Structure 1
Amino acid sequence: MAKDQSGASANSSYLSPAGPRVLAHRGLAVEAPENTMLAFAKAIAAGAHYIETDVHASLDGVAVVAHDPSLVRVAGRDLKVEQLTMAELRRIDLGNGQGFCSLPEALDAFPETRFNIDVKSRGAVSPTVRAIQDIWATDRVLVTSFDEKRRAATALELPGVASSASAGRFLLALLGAKTGISPAVRRALNGLVAIQVPEKALGLRVTTQRVIHRVHDLGLEMHVWTINEPQRMRHLLDLGVDGIVTDRADLALEVVASRAQPGCA
């Protein structure tokens, strides 16, 4: 197994068997609040094997499943996640009888599901590592972060964990792929198993066959976010992307299933 810049070894078992993969972005929040146990349960009931989620840290040092640092958007409360204990966060009404859940709770409740975890704050690094270790879930999680220091710090404490590129490493790889500088791409993506990207970055289209082929040549997968239209999903899969990160896992799973039918592309 290759080692990334954090010194941790990359484990590709997270991406086995072969895709294409549907990653349920914050669960399936069509009839459930995002990033809640209900949203996760609905995604899994629809057939999703991968959940994409986010973590912050509570006041008492628990990894909290939450995208935003504050409660303003999801609960109309002018408070930060880090200002409340996990017990207090569970009592926040997010709708449909749901409150915030912890990462250990989610990992424990859905033991057959693989989680793609975005570490949103420095304070969440240690609680995230502890949660994954306590549930013995290293082989079924992928850890990442927009910030390379957070990503590397998390991966370093979880030997063998799968990880995808931070924003900085992805941008270096993109520029290298566009200019044909293969060593630069290789260095930027060393030790990772995937890049998880938007369709465009820095005014450049990411999802071109040239970039996808370079990523594949290095043995990595490309997952594209956040794609909710079936037509876009089909187009990206035709180009060769390996995964779709989507708010509509139900629709994406139908697209993937239809492509598996005899006579379908």
Structure 2
Amino acid sequence: MTHPWFQGTTVPRVLAHRGLVTQADASHAVAENSFAAVAAAHAAGCVYVESDCHLTSDGVVVLFHDADLTRVTGDPRRVADVTVRELEALMAGRGGLITLAQALDAFPDVRFNLDVKAPTAAGAVGTIIAPHADRVLVTSFSDARRRDALAAAETAGSGILPATSAGTSTIVRLLVAVAAHSDRLVSRPLRGIDAIQVPERKGRVRVVTPRLIDAAHRSGVEVHVWTVNDPADMRRLVDMGVDGIVTDRADVALRTLRT
């Protein structure tokens, strides 16, 4: 059966990458993954918001991409070394900090695509999302971290497991299987996987190909491509059969792909 995260919405899916920060918002210092960025994506009509999870020093899961605060706030400390109160103060003029629990509470009709960035965050992420598993997809570059979050959700009494997309090691195995033209080998790494979320290219290697898309679809798995900001590229990828576009310009993507 298709996971509820995918149900009742249409393909292609538009995933707002770290929320939505328009040029106007950026001029007012609004940062990615802030409360304001998630709210802007929601206001633009986005059903899906992609974000990232780190754990503060006092054990709060926050939506934040980098391991340290330098790029977003100018503070050189790591997320893991500050309290949630300290991070709230740093983000106050940048759109406002949003914790994972706050995001799920404040935006009950948003479906979240959550990348677990820190190993220490996996258990806490799983516990928090357990009551909301129908509208959460869990991912990580680390398959072990992704599985830890899913296991924590199950332990916390999740009625169903969250949806999940493959980590790097699974993607590598899949690409090898696709190159070998083996449906049997393709099905193995995709067992228990709902989507693969990949860049179109990795260096000189083309990752997204018609063969990969067809192989994933034969296994009932969607293909989402990140991070795509050019409307022509969005249309081209959707014409290839891609199911989802992860983009910094969700407003542009919605206009481009819904007309």
TM-score (normalised: structure 1): 0.89
Give 1:153's match in structure 2, choosing from 127, 148, 161: 148
Decide whether the 8 Å contact of 2:54 with 2:63 is kept in 1. yes
Task: Give 1:126 deviation, angstroms.
Answer: 1.7
The structure 1 residue matched to 2:88, chosen from 87, 90, 97, is 90
* SS of corresponding position for 2:90: coil
Residue 15 of structure 1: aligned partner: 6
The equivalent of 1:244 in structure 2 is 245
Q: Could you give the per-residue CA deviations for residues 174-205 of structure 1, whole angstroms, max 9, x where no partner exists?
A: 12112212222211111110000000136331
Q: Which runs of at least 4 in structure 1 moved beyond 4 Å after TM superposition?
A: none
What do residues 196-249 of structure 1 show as CA deviations (whole Å, max 9, x unaligned)? 000013633122111101100000000000000000000000000000000000
Aligned to 2:50: 52
Match of 2:106 in 1: 109
Aligned to 1:192: 193
Alignment of 1:86-235 (within 5 A): 86-93=84-91, 95-96=93-94, 98-133=95-130, 136-159=131-154, 160-201=161-202, 203-235=204-236
Give the AA of the match of 2:53: V
Structure 2 residues without counterparts, runs of 5 or longer? 155-160
% identity of equivalent residues: 44
Q: Verify the 8 A CA contact 1:145 1:151 in the aligned structure 2.
A: yes
What is the aligned partner in structure 1 of residue 157 from structure 2? none
Give the Å deviation of 1:100: 2.3
Structure 1 range deviating more: 82-91 or 246-255: 82-91
- Aligned ranges 1:247-258 → 2 under 5 Å: 247-258=248-259
Q: Which has the higher contact order (CA 8 A, sep 6+)?
A: 1
Question: Structure 1, unaligned stretches of length 5 or more?
Answer: 2-10, 259-265
* Corresponding letter in the other structure for 2:133: T
Whether the 8 Å contact between 2:126 and 2:151 is mirrored in structure 1 is: no
- Could you tell me how far 1:112 is from its partner in structure 2? 0.4
TM-score (norm 2): 0.91
Aligned to 2:158: none
- RMSD of aligned Cα (Å): 1.4
* Equivalence for 1:4: none
Match of 2:19 in 1: 27
Q: Deviations over 1:24-48 (max 9, x none)?
A: 0000012131001100111111110
Distance 1:72 1:39 in 2: 19
The one-letter code matched in structure 1 to 2:63 is V
Aligned length: 246
Stretch deviating more after TM superposition (110-119 or 80-89): 80-89
d(CA) in 1 for partners of 2:92, 2:169: 33
Q: Is the 8 A contact 2:174 2:189 kept in 1?
A: yes
